[in-house]
Structure 1
Amino acid sequence: MIVSCLTVIIAPSFDSYSLEFNYLSHSITPSSSIILAQSSKKSEESLTEEDGEKTTEEAEKDSVEVQEADVLVDGKAIFTIKTSLGELSPESRAKTAMSNLEDVAQNNAITPEQIRIVNLKELGLVQADDTIIITFAEEDAEAESLTFSEFLNKRREEIENAIIDYRKARTKTSISQGIGKAIIATIIAILSLYLLKKVLPSIFDRLRAWQRERLDSVEFQGLQFISGRQVAQFISFLFTVTRIFLVFLVFYIYLPLVLSYFPWTQPIGIKLLSNFWDSINLVISGILSYIPNLFIIAVIGLIAYYSIRFARIFFNAIGEERIRINGFYPEWSEPTYNLIMFFIIGLSGILIFPYLPASNSAGFQGISIFAGALFTLGSTAIVGNIVSGIVLIYTRSFQVGDVITANDKAGRVLEKNMLTTRIMTPDNEVITIPNATLLASDITNYTASIRDQQRPLVLKTTVTLGYDVPWRKVHEVLINAAKDSEGIIENPEPFVLQTSLDDFYVAYTIKAFTNTPEKMALTYSKLHQSIQDKCNEADIEILSPHYAAIRDGHQITIPENYLPSDYQAPGFRVESLGNSRKENNHNQQEQ
């Protein structure tokens, strides 16, 4: 309403200013117009003679660069000028025509019936009284595919209608109608804002209630990516942005609509509305023109989706051993599926890329080049680890749950992915080893023979005893100790190997079997305890022969609970040298 009142108040000043400006700058007599046209023609001929060396290609280039210009009255296009006239471009011709046309329209002494056509040699003038509105040449008619007379009559009718509409728009009746329309538009705008204030909060309250019930947080495989509070904040932000946008949209439609109801501000209103609808048309036409590309993208996406689903079903069947392929192990099904899924997604992305909006733009290509360079320079270690991970998978070095020793670290495999492998040591330490490092090291797998060949793991330990202990007795004691150990299986039976005969002792290696490699450290401990108990029961001392050779008279190393109740440590035996000689002589005589 305020806009409409201001428009009516300041309108006369616009008219007086326009009259003064047009009178000073665009009043032209018929003779001066003819002279201008002739001079323009002469200047064109002189330019042609001076530029005779210009090539035909350059002339065609200049003609292509000529831009069309609309002749506007109150913001409405009356007709379009498509060609130049001498040195006058279509834009300058349109500006002069608009100024002259406005002068004639503001001069109520000139009636529309006074507008006539004056034919000159190769030129046609549209003239009202003594004012030349515009000059046309035969090239203008050729651009419209009309004869020169038809073209001039058409333009004269368009100019007459424009003058009639111009004067009609400035009558009291039209202004009153404009004020009425502005009031109605204002009421509609106020009602729209009121409805937005009432309706939007209720819509977003329902959205918040739905979010609290159905979308409290965003999680994937137990990992929370977005909390409920963040989702609520996003909905509040969306509400604020939507409200601001709709309020701005109401004002953007309301303001140019009101301005278009009054002749003095009609060009501004029409321009704003034209920009608004051009934007909407651009979006809609862009969407419509993008539908074929969207259809191709949808087809590629569907093919990729169902290919991945088929691969999932097929490799699940292999993993569950419902489908058997010679040389393809069930544990390969999951990583092979991941590789095929990655390949399908990558190939789909390559096929879809040319059909994306702005895929050929310089900005999009620059970002693609930057991302490619960044990946190339920073992904050497990543690619190395990925390749190493694939090699480890298909060489079947280990699986998740296996007990291994790698890179001087022993433990159970917790996780194996494309980049790293995580193992847990017996001390509950989780160690992450890059796949490239793992591939370069020796890997000992304690579980593979049990899983793949149903052959138990061999545990071995070595005991060194002196030559004074009978080896058969040692074998029996060690085997019994292994059989009584927790974690050692009965079949196959344990056995003993004499691995070396050294200067002072014999090395005995006991080998036993177990099916629980994850308890290997505990099983070794139980085996060592059992060997100690059994050797003590059999009166076998486990000590260094060097020590035993020089010992005399000391307490035996066997624990007291294994010794007889009347056991006493022997004392030192001391004999004289003479008695020793007599005993030796006596022994020689008896012999």
Structure 2
Amino acid sequence: MTLRILVLAVLFMMLAAPLQAASEEVRPETAPLLESVLETAPVEIDGQLLFTVRGVSSFPAEQRAEAIRGRIEKVAANPSFPSNELSTEVVENVTIIMAGEATLMIVSEADAQLEHTSRDHLATLHLMRIQRAIDEYRQSRRSDALFKAGLYGAGATALLVLWIVVLLVLNRWLDKALSRLLKSRVHAVGIQSFEILRSETIWKAFHGLMVVIGVATIIVSAYAYLHYVLALFPWTRFISNGLFALAAGAVEHMGKSVGASIPDILILAIIYYLSRFVLRRLQRFFDAVGQKRVTFAQFEPEWALPTYKLVRILILAFALVVAYPYIPGSESAAFKGISIFIGLVLSLGSSTAISNLIAGYLMTYRRVFKVGDRVKVGDVTGEVIAIRLQVTHLRTIKNEEVTIPNSQILNGEVTNFSSMAGTQGLILHTTVGIGYETPWRQVEAMLRAAAERTSGVLSEPQPFILLIKLGDFAVTYELNVYIRDPHVIAQTYADLHRHILDLFNEYGVQIMTPAYEGDPDVPKVVPREQWYAAPASPGHREEQ
């Protein structure tokens, strides 16, 4: 044994002593934990893994693996040395694998204990693996092997080119065939006359999808070609292994991600279908309440739809809160940032919307009015044609549609002309000023007669008259009449005023309103013979 071998053995024992001592002190059940902590490095020849080695702080694993690889390649590059002449030699507590007089590697007790086997057995396995690696190294670099690899590479290249040509031709043929088959069947997507997606756009998207599939197929084929061809030659085999490891790692990562998301997706599906089941049952129940097939005391049928909408919002909000942790990516910083941004925007911009929403529900349950009622909100008088969660729509007598926020309605004064008109009648009133020389009994009789002539005025309850003011120059009378239909208030007032004018003209009584300065020589009345002065005629609407 040469002096150099002895020095190397002693040096390795000195370096491996701390590791060996530590491994001897470690109990068997803690050995895997120690192994996972220690640094390891692979010994590779032409991209083929032989085994892994460990190191210590003064001789890291990567340096040790690189040194072993260099010594093995040096021996493999010397064809005069037979691989079956590799040997092992025991020097104190280590086993040395040698190629003649050259040392390839040293196997210590620490290496064997961390591999959970004996030192002699581990050295024998390493020796056999090194022999096979040397034989493969030499075999792959023979001229006939390189020539054969070149032929296989050329054949693979020709097949790749032919496959790409076939793919291009097939893609073009499929494009034309599907164009003839489907282009006439692809229609625009729209709502009534508005086109959301034109048929040309849909077809272009379908054509682009086919192009993407073709390009992806070519890329996968080229990737498989490179992996095969690079693996044929020993100098590029490690690149091929890297490509395979890259693809395998990507597929493994995707598989793990999908597998980890499957339980969450199942939970989300359960939450979705359970929420939909509950909402459908609630919708049927409230439809029955709205149609009076199910009745409750103190619960109006018109409350059914808004109550269902309110309960639906609560159920959907609860389902979203429960489902949020199971949404894939919900724990990412980007997802949380977007959630915070959306919440901030809603909180800053929806205060008015929320107040109108709450006001809409309060109006519903307070029974302020309903669709079809005649109401007055502020300065606007009209018929309620729609009650939304945010606003209420009124149609005025001029056929104008006015939109009023619900919060404004709730905070303001609302006059409902329809709420009591159907049961007790709606009272319309008008005033006239008559001089003191006219008996009040005559005035009241004329006012009652005008009310009787007016269509739409109820005979029961009877009209009544109030003397509301004894003025300086005239007495103010107020005529009150009952009607049922609040939607004809303006027309009823017009007819009532026409008949009052006719009655007072007919009996020659002068109306003093609005102002009186002195008694005229002739009363300001219209003689009966002039009631239908041109262009009026007896058949005019006022006589009806």
TM-score after normalising by structure 2: 0.82
Give 3-state SS (helix, strand or coil) of 2:443's partner. Answer: helix
| Bigger shift: residues 230-239 or 348-357 | 230-239
Letter of the 2:74 counterpart:
D
Partner residue in 2 for 1:77: 49
Query: How much has 1:408 moved relative to structure 2?
Result: 2.6
In the TM superposition, residue 210 of structure 1 has moved relative to its aligned partner by 4.3
CA distance, structure 2, for counterparts of residue 341 and residue 223 of structure 1: 32
Structure 2 residue identity aligned to 1:71: V
- Verify the 8 A CA contact 1:257 1:273 in the aligned structure 2: no
Range 130-139 or range 418-427, more displaced? 130-139
Find 1:393's aligned residue among 364, 368, 380: 364
- The residue aligned with 2:451 is 482
**Partner of 1:449: helix, strand, or coil?**
coil
Query: Does residue 188 of the first structure (1) align with residue 163 of the second (2)?
Result: yes
Residue 518 (structure 2) aligns with: 550
Aligned: 1:145 with 2:120: no
1:321-366 CA distance string (max 9 Å, x none) = 1111112211111111112222222211121121122222233223
- 1:471 matched to 2:446? The reply is no
Match of 1:293 in 2: 264
How far apart are the structure 2 equivalents of 1:194 and 1:133? 56
Cross-structure match for 2:227: 256
Q: Give the counterpart letter for 2:470 in structure 1.
A: L
Question: 1:527 and 2:499 equivalent?
Answer: no
Cα distance per residue 1:122-164 (max 9 Å; x no partner): 4444443455444444333333322222222223333333333
Change beyond 3 A, Cα 1:408–1:504 = same
Looking at structure 1, the residues matched to 481 and 463 of structure 2 have their Cα atoms a distance apart, in angstroms, of 4
Whichever residue aligns with residue 437 of structure 1, its letter is Q
Task: Return closer, same or farther for 1:255/1:226 CA change in 2, 3 Å cut-off.
Answer: farther
The residue correspondences of 1:326-365 to structure 2 (distance < 5 A) are: 326-365=297-336
Q: Return the offset for 1:292.
A: 2.1
Q: For 1:385 and 1:77, how far apart are their aligned partners in 2?
A: 72
Separation of aligned partners in 2, 1:303 and 1:296: 10
Shift of 1:203: 4.5
Q: 1:243 to 1:190 in 2, by over 3 A?
A: closer
Q: Distance in 1 between matches of 2:119 and 2:8?
A: 19
* C-alpha contact (below 8 Å) 1:466/1:545 kept by paired residues: no
- 2:535 alignment counterpart: none
Describe the superposition over 1:153-182 as per-residue Cα deviations: whole angstroms up to 9, x where unpaired: 223333333333333344133443344344
RMSD (CA atoms):
3.5
Q: Is the 8 A contact 1:465 1:544 kept in 2?
A: yes
**Aligned 8 A contact 2:384 2:393 in 1:** yes
Q: CA deviation at 1:217?
A: 1.9
**How many Å separate the matches in 2 of 1:557 and 1:154?**
135
Residue in 2 aligned with 1:422?
393
1:306-333 Cα distance to aligned partner (Å, 9 max, x none): 0010011011111111111112211111
Question: CA–CA distance in 2 between the matches of 1:322 and 1:161?
Answer: 88
Amino acid at match of 2:521: G
Counterpart residue number, 1:226: 196
- How many angstroms apart in 2 are the aligned matches of 1:515 and 1:203? 69
Unaligned runs of 5+ in 1: 1-28, 49-59, 566-591
- Tell me what 1:568 maps to: none
Alignment of 1:263-282 (within 5 A): 263-282=234-253
- Give percent identity, aligned residues only: 27
Give the counterpart of 1:384 among 351, 355, 358: 355
1:584 is aligned to: none
- The residue that corresponds to 1:168 in the other structure is 139
* Structure 1 position 278, deviation (Å): 2.5
Q: Distance in 2 between matches of 1:32 and 1:521?
A: 121
Aligned twin of 1:54: none
- Aligned partner letter, 2:494: S
Counterpart-to-counterpart distance in 1, 2:208 and 2:453:
72
Question: Helix, strand or coil: the match of 2:415?
Answer: strand
Whole-Å separation in 2 of the counterparts to 1:564 and 1:405: 36
Residues 1:514 and 2:483 are matched in the alignment: yes
2:156/2:225 contact within 8 Å kept: no
What's the CA shift for 1:385? Answer: 2.3
1:45-70 Cα distance to aligned partner (Å, 9 max, x none)? 9xx9xxxxxxxxxxx99986655433
Question: 1:145 is paired with a residue of what secondary structure?
Answer: coil
Q: Identify which of 458, 464, 469 aligns with 1:500.
A: 469
Asked if structure 1 preserves the Cα contact closer than 8 Å seen for 2:359 and 2:410, the reply is yes
Higher mean alpha-carbon deviation, 351-360 vs 309-318, is at 351-360
Query: Cα offset for 1:305?
Result: 0.8
1:562-581 to 2 correspondences below 5 Å: 562=529
Residue in 2 that maps onto 1:458: 427
1:564–1:310 CA distance, 2 compared to 1 (3 A):
closer
Does the CA contact (< 8 Å) of 2:160 and 2:222 recur in 1? no
Aligned residues: 513
- Answer yes or no: is the 8 Å Cα contact 1:505–1:545 preserved in 2: no
Are residues 179 and 459 of structure 1, via their aligned partners in 2, closer, same or farther at CA, if it must alter by over 3 Å?
same
